[in-house]
Amino acid sequence: MDGVSYQRFPKVKIRELRDDFVKFELRETDVSMANALRRVMIAEVPTIAIDLVEIEVNSTVLNDEFIAHRLGLIPLTSERAMGMRFSRDCDACDGDGQCEYCSVEFRLSAKCIGDQTLDVTSRDLYSADPTVTPVDFSDPSGYESNEQRGIIIVKLRRGQELRLRAIARKGIGKDHAKWSPAATVTFMCEPEIVINEDLMDTLSDEEKLKLIDSSPTKVFDFDQVTRQIVVVDPEAYSYDEEVLKAAEAMGKTGLVEIRPKEDSFIFTVESTGAVKASQLVLNAIDILKQKLDAVRLSEDTVEADDQFGELGAHMRGG
Cβ atoms of residues 280 and 181 within 8 Å: yes
Per DSSP, the residues of 250-302 read TT-TTSEEEEEEEEEEEEEEEE-SSS-HHHHHHHHHHHHHHHHHHT---TT-S
Q: What is the pLDDT of residue 307?
A: 53
Residue type, 86: F
Residue type, 83: G
- pTM of the model as a whole: 0.80
The structural domains of the chain, ordered by start, are 47-180 (2.170.120.12), 197-254 (3.30.70)
Could you read off the pLDDT tens digit of each residue along the chain, which spans 318 residues?
A: 444 456 778 999 999 999 999 999 999 999 999 999 999 999 999 999 999 999 999 999 999 999 999 999 999 999 999 988 888 888 877 767 788 888 999 999 999 998 899 999 999 999 999 999 999 876 655 555 555 678 999 999 999 999 999 999 999 999 999 999 999 999 999 899 999 988 888 888 899 999 999 999 999 999 888 888 999 999 889 888 999 999 999 888 888 999 998 899 999 999 999 999 999 999 999 999 988 887 776 544 555 455 555 444 544 444
Q: What is the pLDDT of residue 144?
A: 55
Q: What is the pLDDT of residue 106?
A: 96
What burial class does residue 84 get, using C-beta atoms within 10 Å of its C-beta: 0-12 exposed, 13-18 middle, 19+ buried?
buried
Q: What is the pLDDT of residue 147?
A: 53
Q: Tell me, what DSSP letter sits at residue 135?
A: P
Q: What is the pLDDT of residue 309?
A: 52
The closest alpha carbon to 133, from 108, 154, 156, 155, belongs to: 108
